[in-house]
Structure 1
Amino acid sequence: MTDFNKERAKDEIAVSLTLSTFCMQRIGFSFNRPNSFASYYSQKLMFILSVCGICYHVFSEIVFIGLTLWNSPRVEDVVPLLHTFGYGALSITKVFVLWYKKDVFGQLLSELADIWPMSPLEEDAQNIKNKSLSALRIAHRWYFWLNVSGVWFYNLTPIGVYIFRVCRGQLAEIGFVWVSWYPFDKQKPVAHVAVYVFEMFAGQTCVWIMICTDLLFSGMASHIGMLLRLLQRRLESLAIVYKTDEEYYQEILSNVKLHQRLIRYCNNLEEAFSLVNLINIVLSSINICCVVFVIVLLEPFMAVSNKLFLGSALIQIGVLCWYADDIYHANAKVASAAYNSFWYKTSPRCRRTLLFLIKRSQKPIAFTAMKFTNISLVTYSAILTRSYSYFALLYTMYRDN
């Protein structure tokens, strides 16, 4: 690929990850070096404030959960605290991985530009590319707005509850966004305002981190799925047009090399996100179970906020499983495409090379949770099943009490 085409490819990839980049900038993070010292230090300061904010936010929730367990270890007192703590803990894990693997992600984006399909493409290939980018864009917008609207419902609910009670002539005071512990009296006027502002900042920071990492993963995984489908298209049309034996062989060889690059790319992407995937799989069942318990049995004033949280949690783990499953099946279909490539029109040398491609395609490409389990839509089904089991257990304990 020429330098000009590579720059165009980078621009197209950047456009597909616009919302992810936007959220990264909100926490002071970027894969590109700042243009000036002022922007560099302001970016570092914002990143430090964001990380410190969410770390104390999660720490204060841990302390409050501990105090609650000590003073009132009832199901209805403890369970409403767990899903927000789980969300914050997952955010800390994701921002750590984002920072620690910064160079890896930058390299992956650069490698993606090297194999990015550029115009002019055949009509079928262009349709595959357009359809994939369009679906990704729609999914990213929905995910972005669901998460942002959810956190702002949380942020504004205490004010809404205050106005509601005042209108009904009840004694009312503005509460707080999250249930957290602070080493001072947070009911004093100045402290109350400061805590409320801090909790809005911490909650929004958690959402920025969650969105940017999820959209980064889904975007890169979607592009790999698209490239695998384009490879299928190239293989299926391999011997439709008559060529010399050498031309057949070189085309097959280029497809084999592309497939190997895609496999290496998927393995590198899987390694970068493996820890996040493990924490995600472990916490998702607990988060979904706890928020469903709260929606069904507790806190009517938080119903809308918690329903948006539930939708976000379901979509967040669903996106991970969907794109992992898509890559798994797209790679398996490469073997079928190679077999349907009119291989019988080619020479024995070409057939042996295609056989190598088929055998390699039959070995699954799978995203894992630190190698403990492969991630697919079957995993999503298992998470929902476990969530219901946990909910049934909590409901039984609550009913007995």
Structure 2
Amino acid sequence: MFLLSKLEDPNRPLLGINIKVLKVFGLLLPKNVYMKMFFICLHIITICYYITQSIETWFVKDDINKLSNNLKTAMLTNIVTFRCLTLLFMQNKWWGIIDYVTRTDIFNRTSDDPVKVKIVSESTNYTRKLSFGYYLIVIFNVVYFIYEPLYRYFSSRGKDKSEPLTFIISSWLPFDKCKMPGYWYAYVIQIFGTIFGGVWLAAYDCIVFSTLTFFKAELKILRLDSANLFGTESSTARGETVTERFKDLHIRHMDMMKYVRDLNSCLSMHMIMYMLICSLILCVSAFEITAQTKILQQLLKAQYLFLVIFQLFIYCWHCSDVNHTSLYLSLGPYESLWYNHSTIHRKNLYILTAQFSQAVVFTAGSFTTVTVATFISLMKGAYSFYTLLRKSEN
């Protein structure tokens, strides 16, 4: 938590940490032309390296164990590559979302209403804990991927020189990586590829989760403000004050829905690809676990499987949580003192309630919504693929 506190940005109290990480690794491109070109070249080199994993699939297609391991890592890096590309090509939309979230979050923080301040404080604490935990999980997996080949090399190769060399990632390289010093060259290249992939993965996911958490908090605040539309029993609002509150709620909700659609457009195609690839990764990982005879190797494979399941679940959970909160937004106006006011205000209330009835839905392409129910369906589908793979192997 100390390291994350050093990354805090007082101008962006909610997303400051996530934005700084994205900037350091060039996913949010700087304005300086030379630095921008540097990061673009760095991204191209890293993506080209990830493509070599798919090329390696052709060379290991005859060995089922090598093929399954290659497919597992290649599919994960394909997800990372696609996230990087969508973030780079949709910079304007992402900056629009970030500026909107920051502007609205600061406005809510300066409110005199202690309930609003509590909602904002809880959402901020949640995003900090989630980011910290998520970065820890990703760092642990990156360290494990880097350390495992070294451990095998110095433990197994020291006793048996015929033991095959192991790599961080199964990728094709334009030199013989199975002989010295090519092995160490490949190992160093793979370290950089693994670190960048891990950071890209964590940074992208954390800013998405933080933004979704903000939308949930904003929906709660909109409901609270609509419930206080006509004031309280002891301090009733009337006339132009009520009209201004109607306008304010209408504009705030319209703005929020605009940026919800922008976020959905950034995530939609990524999510359909993510769901399909995660299903295949789950299937392959489960197959590898049952194929292993050593308990230690089964635990290590299970740890990778847990990471993939956790990633997919947390996306579905947050999207489902925002959707569920939006379904109760239309109750806010009915919780106000509408029955004490004129017919004109009641008609306006009816219009506002109809506007608030729009559900916030995040989609995976044009195929399905991103919800917990979808996650469960994917788990069932992955298990069916796994069963089919086991039967074909037998």
What's the % identity of the aligned pairs?
A: 17
CA distance in 2, matches of 1:247, 1:64: 67
Q: Which amino acid aligns with 2:45?
A: C
What SS does structure 2 have at the residue aligned with 1:14? coil
CA distance in 1, matches of 2:181, 2:318: 47
Q: Which amino acid aligns with 2:144?
A: F
Q: CA deviation at 1:345?
A: 1.9
Give a deviation string over 1:285-325, Cα, whole Å, max 9, x none. 11122122222323856545433322321222222212211
The verdict on how the C-alpha distance between 1:275 and 1:201 changes in structure 2, with shifts beyond 3 A counting, is: same
Residue ranges of structure 1 left out of the alignment (5+ in a row): 1-9, 35-39
CA distance in 2, matches of 1:51, 1:210: 16
Give a deviation string over 1:310-355, Cα, whole Å, max 9, x none. 2321222222212211221222111112222222122222211221
Greater relative CO (CA pairs within 8 A, separation 6+): 1
Aligned to 1:309: 304
The verdict on how the C-alpha distance between 1:344 and 1:13 changes in structure 2, with shifts beyond 3 A counting, is: farther
Q: CA deviation at 1:109?
A: 1.5
The verdict on how the C-alpha distance between 1:103 and 1:182 changes in structure 2, with shifts beyond 3 A counting, is: same
Q: CA deviation at 1:19?
A: 4.4
- Match status 1:347 vs 2:342: yes
Aligned to 1:21: 19
Q: Which amino acid aligns with 2:254?
A: Q
* Stretch deviating more after TM superposition (321-330 or 192-201): 321-330
CA distance in 1, matches of 2:313, 2:10: 26
Aligned to 2:3: none
What SS does structure 2 have at the residue aligned with 1:276? helix
What SS does structure 2 have at the residue aligned with 1:30? coil
Give a deviation string over 1:129-172, Cα, whole Å, max 9, x none. 111111111111111110111021011101112333367x4445
Residue pair 1:284, 1:317 contacting (<8 A) in 2 also: yes
What SS does structure 2 have at the residue aligned with 1:337? helix
Q: Indicate the RMSD between aligned Cα atoms, in angstroms.
A: 2.4
Match of 1:149 among 120, 140, 162: 140
Q: CA deviation at 1:210?
A: 1.2
Residue pair 2:316, 2:372 contacting (<8 A) in 1 also: yes
Aligned to 2:229: 238
- Match status 1:261 vs 2:255: yes
CA distance in 2, matches of 1:275, 1:229: 28
Residue pair 1:228, 1:330 contacting (<8 A) in 2 also: yes
Match of 1:97 among 61, 73, 86: 86
Aligned to 1:49: 42
- Match status 1:179 vs 2:170: yes
- Match status 1:130 vs 2:124: no
Q: CA deviation at 1:195?
A: 0.5
CA distance in 2, matches of 1:314, 1:174: 29
CA distance in 1, matches of 2:66, 2:152: 20
- Match status 1:121 vs 2:120: no
Residue pair 2:278, 2:308 contacting (<8 A) in 1 also: yes
Match of 1:67 among 59, 62, 86: 59
Alignment of 1:389-400 (within 5 A): 389-398=384-393, 400=394
The verdict on how the C-alpha distance between 1:14 and 1:309 changes in structure 2, with shifts beyond 3 A counting, is: farther
What SS does structure 2 have at the residue aligned with 1:16? coil
The verdict on how the C-alpha distance between 1:62 and 1:89 changes in structure 2, with shifts beyond 3 A counting, is: same
Residue pair 2:109, 2:120 contacting (<8 A) in 1 also: no
CA distance in 1, matches of 2:187, 2:134: 26
Alignment of 1:242-253 (within 5 A): 242-253=236-247
Residue pair 1:83, 1:291 contacting (<8 A) in 2 also: yes
Residue pair 1:245, 1:346 contacting (<8 A) in 2 also: no
- Match status 1:272 vs 2:266: yes
CA distance in 2, matches of 1:32, 1:228: 32
Aligned to 1:163: 154
Aligned to 2:358: 363
CA distance in 2, matches of 1:202, 1:87: 12
Q: Which amino acid aligns with 1:112?
A: V
The verdict on how the C-alpha distance between 1:85 and 1:148 changes in structure 2, with shifts beyond 3 A counting, is: same
The verdict on how the C-alpha distance between 1:22 and 1:109 changes in structure 2, with shifts beyond 3 A counting, is: closer
What SS does structure 1 have at the residue aligned with 2:167? coil
What SS does structure 1 have at the residue aligned with 2:330? helix
CA distance in 2, matches of 1:19, 1:83: 30
Q: CA deviation at 1:181?
A: 2.2
What SS does structure 2 have at the residue aligned with 1:234? helix
Aligned to 1:5: none
TM-score (norm 2): 0.89
Give a deviation string over 1:343-386, Cα, whole Å, max 9, x none. 21222222112211221222322111122222111111112111
Aligned to 1:194: 185
CA distance in 2, matches of 1:228, 1:344: 24
Residue pair 2:23, 2:30 contacting (<8 A) in 1 also: no
Residue pair 1:20, 1:211 contacting (<8 A) in 2 also: no
The verdict on how the C-alpha distance between 1:144 and 1:326 changes in structure 2, with shifts beyond 3 A counting, is: same
- Match status 1:85 vs 2:74: yes
CA distance in 2, matches of 1:170, 1:360: 71
Greater fraction of residues in helix: 1
Q: CA deviation at 1:99?
A: 0.7
Q: CA deviation at 1:26?
A: 4.7
Q: CA deviation at 1:103?
A: 1.6
TM-score (norm 1): 0.87
Residue pair 2:123, 2:213 contacting (<8 A) in 1 also: yes
Residue ranges of structure 2 left out of the alignment (5+ in a row): 1-7
Residue pair 1:60, 1:181 contacting (<8 A) in 2 also: yes
